[in-house]
Amino acid sequence: MTDTRKTIARPAGRLGDHAPSREQRILLQVQLLKIQEEAGEVAEAVIGAMGRTPV
């Protein structure tokens, strides 16, 4: 049983070493929200240019 735990712990430790920090995760979330906001503005502009409103 110990060998199995070591086998699992080894790659799990490597993944943990390369995990983004809390600050990096927050920055990524904010960047994704900003991209989503910009995409919404583009969609709004296209709808306005077409002279149509979604039903």
Angle at 21 between CA 15 and CA 25, to 5 degrees: 105
What value does the mean pLDDT of the chain take? 86
Among 1-5, 41-45, 50-54, the range scoring the smallest mean pLDDT is: 1-5
Give 1-55 as a DSSP string. Answer: -HHHHHHHHHHHHHHHHTSPPHHHHHHHHHHHHHHHHHHHHHHHHHHHHHT----
Q: Spell out the domain ranges in the chain.
A: 22-55
pLDDT at 16 over 80: no
* Residue 29 clears pLDDT 90, i.e. is over it: yes
